[in-house]
Every structure is written in C-alpha cells, then in structure tokens.
Amino acid sequence: MFVVMACAAPAPPPPPGPPNPAAFPRTRPELTGYRETSHYADVRKFLDSLRALRAPLAFGSIGRTNEGREIPYVIASRPLVSTPSEAKRLGRPIVYVQGNIHAGEVEGKDALLALVRDLVFAAKPNALDSIVLIAVPIYNADGNERFAPQSVNRTEQNGPEMVGIRANAQNLDLNRDYVKAEAPETRASLAMFSAWDPDVFVDLHTTDGSFHGYALTYSPSLSPAAVFGGVYARDSLLPVLRERMRVRDGFEVFDYGNFVSDGRGLVSDTTVPEGWETYDSRPRFGTNYYGIRGRIAILSEAYSHDPLERRIGSTYAFVKEILSLVGEKSAAIKSLTARADSQPLAWGRAPDSLQLVAVRSEVVATPRMMDVIKEDVEKTGDSSLTQPGVPRGERRTGRYRTVRMPVYDRFTSTLDRTPPAAYVLPPEDTAVVTLLRLHGIRVDRADTLWRARGESFVIDSIITAQRPFQGHHEVRLKGRWERGPQTLPPKSFIVSTAQARGSLIVYLLEPESDDGVTIWNLFDKELQKGGRFPVKRIFDLSRRGRAATRRSSSSTLPQPEN
C-alpha cells in the first residue's frame, strides 16, 4: 500500500555523528540481486543520497556529454579537499578512477559507487587517509542510457540482461579518442588530467573474449615511451596487486590478454601454436596515453564470462587494493611524478639529459614463458545458448588447465626520436595548437620572423589507410629529416620540449609517430609527396634573438561544481 503525502515537508537534517548504516544508499545491482546495472539517474540518486547523509565528499562535474548530461565526479580524502591546489598541498598521490568508458561494460560504475560509500563511511583508517581519490563512475553517460539486451549490446558478456553501448552518442569509441580528443567526454577528461594532475589513472573495463581462469586482468601503460609510470606499474605495483588479490581477496588475476588461438592477430608469428597476447601500445587508448604523460596508469578488465556480482566483486577488490598500495607507496610515487616532470626540463640545456622517446613500437619478439590458466569449452552438438556471452553451440566445461605458453605482454621501440629544443608550427595550425593545449602542453607564439638552426622533414610517401577507423583514414608518413637553417614566419607557434610533458610533445608532433596528430588527419591539407612537413625541429631556443613571445596558459581548468 502506498502512502501519498499531500505536501512534502523538507526532510529533517540527519542527526550528528556517523549515519546509521541502514541509511546508506545501495547501488541498483545491490537492490536487484545483481540482475540490473545502474542507469544514469540511479548514479545521480546514489550520489545525492551520499550528499544528503553529509558524507565528507566533494561533488562536481568534469563536463557535459553530447546529450548534455553532466559527468559527475566525487572526491574523497581525509581531510577532504575540493580543489586541485588543496589536493596538491596535501602532498599525497592523487588517484583518478574512471568507470563505464565502454558503457556496456557496467561493473566498474557500480563497484566504484559502492567502494566510495564504504570507504567514506568507514570508521577505521583506510586508503582515504593517505591518498586523494577522484572517482568518475559514469564517464560514458550517453552510452550508458542506450539500454538494450546484452545479446545485442555486449555479445561476449554474462549479463546483466540490459546494458548500454560501447560508443558515445557520436558513435566514437572513447578509448580510441585520447589523442585526437573529438568527444566532449575526452576533452573533459583531458581538462581534469591537466587541472588535477593525478599521479595514477585507473580505467575500468570488462574483457570480451577468451575463456581464461582469471577474475580480472590488468595492464600498465604499454607504450615504450612511458618510461616512468609504465615500468613502475608493471614491475613494482602490479605483481604486488596480483599477490594481494589472491591472498586477501580470493581472486586470481593476471596480465590482460587473449589467447593467440582466438585470433586477435597481435602476434603475427604463425609458428606460435598458442600464446597469450596483450592488446596495443598506442596512446589512443587512455591508459597507454596516461603513461606518456609520465604518470602511472592501470587498465582493469573484469572477466566478461563471470556473472555480474562476481565482476563487481573483483573490480571492487582490485580498486581497493590499488588505492591502499598507492597509499603505502606514496613517497615513491610522488618522487616518480617529480622525476618524470623534471627530466624534460633539462632538455636543450644539457645534452646528457636527453632521453629518447619511442614513437613507434611492436610487440616483443622474445616473450616470457609463463603458466596461463585456460578453460576448456566444448561443442554442444546443436545451436543452443548455454550461457549469455558464450557462442551458440558451445558450453563451458568448468575444466581449467594451466598451460605453459609464451606471454606477449610488452612492446619494444622500433623508432626512437631525440627531442629537439622545440618544435615550431606554422601560424595557420591553430587547430593543432588548440589540441596541444588541451593535452596540457604550453605553446608560445613568436611575434617576429625568426631564423634558427634546425631540421625539416621531407615527405617521401603518404600512406593513407583504405578502411576508415573512427571516422578517419589514418595517415602514415615516410621521409627524412634534413638539417639546415629554418626561416620561421611571424606568429609561428613554438612548443619547447623543456616542459613536464616533453615526451608527449615528441609523441604527438613527430611525423612518423604511430599515434600523433598526423595520423588523425590534422595536417592533411599541408601534406604533399616531396614536400615538407609543416612542423620544424629547432635545436637551440636561446638563439631566438629578441623575438618576444606571449605566454599562453596550457589549458582552462574546470571549476568544481555542486
């Protein structure tokens, strides 16, 4: 029976002291026996409930989606901070955790909401006493709302029955957009990165394929240009997390991958009968990108063939373990951040400090041999569906085998570039400059004509991909750099590499980079076979004569909203 109140009185303020756990909000999966995932309205309601309970959290929006939805964030730390400068003053690692970038992959969103609630109301000390958490539970909010049966939107997944789609409302895959930043969601995300400068970025996904024996698989930044955060995450954080997930949380986890026999195609050596191969090293993927910014990034992929409750459980445990390990390693991580930022500052002043930047790479040819757990799947002899996410006519057997096989989990550089003192762009390339600034890169402008020693790139060939990808025909250039005096017109844009994101600058602007601005067609109008690439390399900025420059801020900072 319903009791309808004719005139709703304002709710009385909650009593002082910690709220009664019975009043804590519950996520939609918790309320439905894990049969349903949160809609956008559920996420907003959950966060509003935390606010109504006066949970010590700061609430804001990173920006709006195509369809005008605010993308909420929550900040949790003890003591609470609500601005980037307050967070910086605490001197702790800042951890940015994002759920729902692929909106059919739902458990990151629901796990993150539950974890924020449980950490913030916990009486005992926890990770919030040693880190600052920025949680963005529903990044692809528009994709989340395109609910359809999982058999349509997420064919490889064991429920829930209704889920959103992978792409955003522009039909862009947000996890291929981190370089070109064509989606408002990506631009909001990059603005958050530049404003808060998180030490660690965690991106929550669900696998979509191989039948393996792990509740969750993970990856650091795979770019060989991620010399700080990539290597540290791979060698110092993830092995500890793997052990803790097994011992403390009861989940077997492993490096992200798929079986070579499942035909994803990364390993081209056909003499390899079976192996375990990771995905891609290019920065169009968020966690690879974030490593090139000199920071730590962790990709989390819950096992798509596990039911929703277990996927939420493994993701919850993994994020919780990340937060506490980052808290324990606080000093090491802050020092890594400082080294990543200070190293490029010496470029151009001290040639010894020059660090090569890997701008193209390939998967290692010499994999490690490791034990990988595989589940046997057998034919049913008919076309029946045995479990959502399992192909028709096949059934899982529950028989797991540990197989020793080559593990291709890392990449090696195939093209290194030495950072010049600066790159110089022609005055008309304002779209590229806007994009660089969005990436947190400082760009100056020359007032007068300027002559300098440097190099320009002669284009020998332009290779345009036949098949469109994300609305682009990707462009690859081949050619050679020629040394000589360069004449740079007034109003040229100057990008010194002696700034915190020096490696990213090289990655984005080198013409032969495998995922720079050239690939995404931003220079197309200026490219001609036998012609010169529009961006020049300059060796020495100190000889810039008297040309005055105007300093430009690297990006506009989003303001916290309530």
In this structure, what token pair is assigned to residue 133?
A: 């958490």
In this structure, what token pair is assigned to residue 222?
A: 């795979």
Residue 168: CB minimum distance to Zn ion, A: 13
Residue 207: CB minimum distance to Zn ion, A: 8
Considering the complex, state which of residue 105 and residue 306 has its C-beta at the smaller distance from Zn ion: 105
* Secondary-structure percent of the chain, ordered helix, strand, coil, rounded to 5: 30, 25, 45
| Angle between helix 40-52 and helix 107-120 axes, rounded to 10 deg | 0
Burial 258-275 (b: 16+ CB within 10 A, else e): bbbeeeeebbeeeeeeeb
Residue 409: CB minimum distance to Zn ion, A: 18
Contact flags string 85-104 toward Zn ion, x per CB under 5 A: -----------------x--
Q: Where do the DSSP E strands lie in 444-474? A: 444-446, 450-464
Contact flags string 154-193 toward Zn ion, x per CB under 5 A: ----------------------------------------
* Segment near Zn ion (CB under 5 A); pick from 195-203, 204-212, 395-403, 438-446: 204-212
In this structure, what token pair is assigned to residue 555?
A: 């990006």
Whole-angstrom CA distances from 459 to 185, 488, 529 are 34, 19, 5
Residue pair 158/307 in contact (Cβ under 8 Å)? The answer is yes
Contact flags string 401-440 toward Zn ion, x per CB under 5 A: ----------------------------------------
Q: Using the rule CB under 5 A, which residue among 205, 320, 374, 544 binds Zn ion?
A: 205
Considering the complex, state which of residue 165 and residue 296 has its C-beta at the smaller distance from Zn ion: 165
Residue 205: CB minimum distance to Zn ion, A: 3
Task: Kindly state the number of chain residues that form the binding site for Zn ion, as judged by CB under 5 A.
Answer: 3
Considering the complex, state which of residue 299 and residue 441 has its C-beta at the smaller distance from Zn ion: 299
Residue 388: CB minimum distance to Zn ion, A: 17
Give the CA-trace dihedral at 340, 346, 351, 356, to 10 degrees: 20
Considering the complex, state which of residue 107 and residue 514 has its C-beta at the smaller distance from Zn ion: 107
Contact flags string 99-138 toward Zn ion, x per CB under 5 A: ---x--x---------------------------------
Considering the complex, state which of residue 105 and residue 514 has its C-beta at the smaller distance from Zn ion: 105
Residue entry with tokens 């050679």: 480
Residue 99: CB minimum distance to Zn ion, A: 11
**CA 241 to CA 552: how far, in whole Å?**
41
Considering the complex, state which of residue 207 and residue 343 has its C-beta at the smaller distance from Zn ion: 207
Considering the complex, state which of residue 102 and residue 212 has its C-beta at the smaller distance from Zn ion: 102
SS3 per residue for 102-127:
CCCCCHHHHHHHHHHHHHHCCCCCCH
CA angle centred on 467, ends 466 and 470, rounded to 5°:
130
* Segment near Zn ion (CB under 5 A); pick from 205-213, 273-281, 347-355, 401-409: 205-213
In this structure, what token pair is assigned to residue 340?
A: 């990543």
Tell me the CA end-to-end span of the chain in Å, nearest whole number. Answer: 36
Considering the complex, state which of residue 105 and residue 444 has its C-beta at the smaller distance from Zn ion: 105
Considering the complex, state which of residue 30 and residue 156 has its C-beta at the smaller distance from Zn ion: 156
Residue 215: CB minimum distance to Zn ion, A: 16
Residue 204: CB minimum distance to Zn ion, A: 9
Residue 32: CB minimum distance to Zn ion, A: 23
In this structure, what token pair is assigned to residue 180?
A: 């070109």
**CA 355 to CA 485: how far, in whole Å?**
24
Type of residue found at 164:
G
In this structure, what token pair is assigned to residue 24?
A: 């804590």
Residue 173: CB minimum distance to Zn ion, A: 9
Considering the complex, state which of residue 179 and residue 498 has its C-beta at the smaller distance from Zn ion: 179
DSSP letters, 400-433, are: EEEEEEEEE--EEEEEEE---SEEEE-TT-HHHH
Considering the complex, state which of residue 101 and residue 541 has its C-beta at the smaller distance from Zn ion: 101
Contact flags string 47-86 toward Zn ion, x per CB under 5 A: ----------------------------------------
Whole-angstrom CA distances from 508 to 197, 282, 376, 511 are 19, 11, 43, 8
Give the CA-trace dihedral at 96, 100, 105, 107, to 10 degrees: 60
* Segment near Zn ion (CB under 5 A); pick from 31-39, 89-97, 197-205, 267-275: 197-205
Length of the chain: 562
Residue 106: CB minimum distance to Zn ion, A: 11
Is 544 among the residues that bind Zn ion (CB under 5 A)? no
Chain residues binding Zn ion by CB under 5 A are: 102, 105, 205
